Chain A
Amino acid sequence: MAQRKQIRWHIAVFLAPAVLVYTAIMIVPLFGTLNLSLFNLDQGNRVFVGLRNFATLFGDPRWSDAFWNALGNNAWFFVIHMLVQNPIGVLLAALLSSPRLRGAAFYRTAIFIPTILSFVIVGFVWKLILSPIWGIAPGMLDAVGLKALFAPWLGKEEYALTTLALVSVWQFVGIPMMLIYAALLSIPDEVIEAAEMDGVTGWAQFWKIKLPLILPSIGIISVLTFVGNFNAFDLIYVTQGALAGPNFATDILGTFLYRTFFGFQLQIGDPHMGATIATAMFGIILLGVCFYLFAIQTRLRRYQF
Chain B
Amino acid sequence: MMSTARHSPLRSLAAHGILLGYTLIALFPVFVIVVNSFKNRRAIFADPLALPSAETFDLVGYKTVLAQGDFLQYFLNSMTVTVASLFFVLLFGAMAAFALSEYRFRGNLLMGLYLALGIMIPIRLGTVAILQLMVASGLVNTLTALILVYTAQGLPLAVFILSEFMRGVSADLKDAGRIDGLSEYRIFFRLVLPLVRPAMATVAVFTMIPIWNDLWFPLILAPSEATKTITLGSQVFIGQFVTNWNAVLAALGLAIVPVLVLYLIFSRQLIRGITAGAVK
Query: Which residues of A approach B to under 8 Å, CB–CB?
Result: 8, 10-11, 13-15, 17-19, 21-22, 24-30, 32-33, 36, 88, 91-92, 94-103, 105-122, 124-126, 128-129, 134, 136, 139, 170, 173, 175, 178-179, 181-182, 185-186, 188-189, 192, 196, 201-203, 205-206, 210, 216, 220, 223-224, 227, 231, 233-234, 254, 271, 278, 281-282, 285-286, 289, 302-305
B209 touches A182 (CB 8 A): no
Residue in chain A with minimal CB distance to B213: A118
Known: A26-B152, A182-B277. 11 other contacts (CB 8 A): A17-B95, A18-B93, A25-B148, A29-B130, A30-B125, A113-B30, A116-B212, A185-B277, A223-B119, A304-B171, A305-B170
B238 touches A120 (CB 8 A): yes
Say what secondary structure dominates the interface of chain A.
Answer: helix
Q: Verify if B153 is at the interface (C-beta below 8 Å from A).
A: yes
Contact code string B211-236 (vs A, CB < 8 Å = 1, else 0): 01101000000000000000100110
Q: Verify if B2 is at the interface (C-beta below 8 Å from A).
A: yes
15 CB-based A-B contacts, threshold 8 Å: A14-B96, A14-B98, A22-B118, A22-B155, A29-B123, A29-B129, A117-B30, A117-B213, A119-B215, A182-B277, A185-B274, A186-B198, A203-B1, A289-B116, A305-B280
B184 touches A10 (CB 8 A): yes
Whether A99 contacts B238 in the complex (CB less than 8 A), given A282-B121, A305-B170, comes out as no
Query: Which residues of B approach A to under 8 Å, CB–CB?
Result: 1-6, 12, 15-16, 18-20, 22-23, 25-27, 29-30, 32-33, 45, 48-49, 88, 91-93, 95-96, 98-100, 103, 105, 111, 115-130, 133, 148-149, 151-153, 155-157, 159-161, 164, 167-168, 170-171, 183-185, 188, 198-199, 202, 205-206, 209, 212-213, 215, 231, 234-235, 238, 248, 252, 255-256, 259-260, 263-264, 267, 270-271, 274-275, 277-278, 280
Residue in chain A with minimal CB distance to B20: A107
Among A11, A21, A278, A285, which residue has its beta carbon within 8 angstroms of that of B152? Answer: A21
Could you tell me the distance in whole angstroms from the C-beta of A84 to the nearest C-beta in chain B? Answer: 12
B117: A residues at CB distance < 8 A:
27
A33 touches B255 (CB 8 A): no
Most B-side CB within 10 Å, residue of A108, A120, A136: A120
Could you tell me the distance in whole angstroms from the C-beta of A209 to the nearest C-beta in chain B? Answer: 9
A101 touches B5 (CB 8 A): yes
Among B15, B48, B98, B260, which residue has its beta carbon within 8 angstroms of that of A136? Answer: B48
B33 touches A8 (CB 8 A): no
B18 touches A91 (CB 8 A): yes
B164: A residues at CB distance < 8 A:
216, 220
A96: B residues at CB distance < 8 A:
19
Whether A94 contacts B49 in the complex (CB less than 8 A), given A14-B95, A29-B126, A129-B29, comes out as no
B275 touches A201 (CB 8 A): no
A18 touches B148 (CB 8 A): no
Among A120, A179, A304, which residue has its beta carbon within 8 angstroms of that of B234? Answer: A120
A92 touches B148 (CB 8 A): no
CA separation between A117 and B161, bound complex, in Å? 23
Whether A182 contacts B18 in the complex (CB less than 8 A), given A14-B98, A110-B26, A227-B120, comes out as no
Could you tell me the distance in whole angstroms from the C-beta of B227 to the nearest C-beta in chain A? Answer: 18
A14 touches B188 (CB 8 A): yes
Whether A185 contacts B255 in the complex (CB less than 8 A), given A95-B19, A304-B170, comes out as no
B263 touches A116 (CB 8 A): yes
Could you tell me the distance in whole angstroms from the C-beta of B78 to the nearest C-beta in chain A? Answer: 11
CA separation between A46 and B33, bound complex, in Å? 50
B259: A residues at CB distance < 8 A:
116-118
B29 touches A125 (CB 8 A): yes
Among A17, A92, A302, which residue has its beta carbon within 8 angstroms of that of B167? Answer: A302
Could you tell me the distance in whole angstroms from the C-beta of B122 to the nearest C-beta in chain A? Answer: 4
Residue in chain B with minimal CB distance to A177: B22
Residue in chain A with minimal CB distance to B134: A25
Residue in chain A with minimal CB distance to B98: A14
B160: A residues at CB distance < 8 A:
220
A21 touches B153 (CB 8 A): no
CA separation between A202 and B3, bound complex, in Å? 6
B153 touches A201 (CB 8 A): no
CA separation between A24 and B132, bound complex, in Å? 12
Among B20, B88, B133, B215, which residue has its beta carbon within 8 angstroms of that of A120? Answer: B215
CA separation between A179 and B92, bound complex, in Å? 21
B156 touches A126 (CB 8 A): no
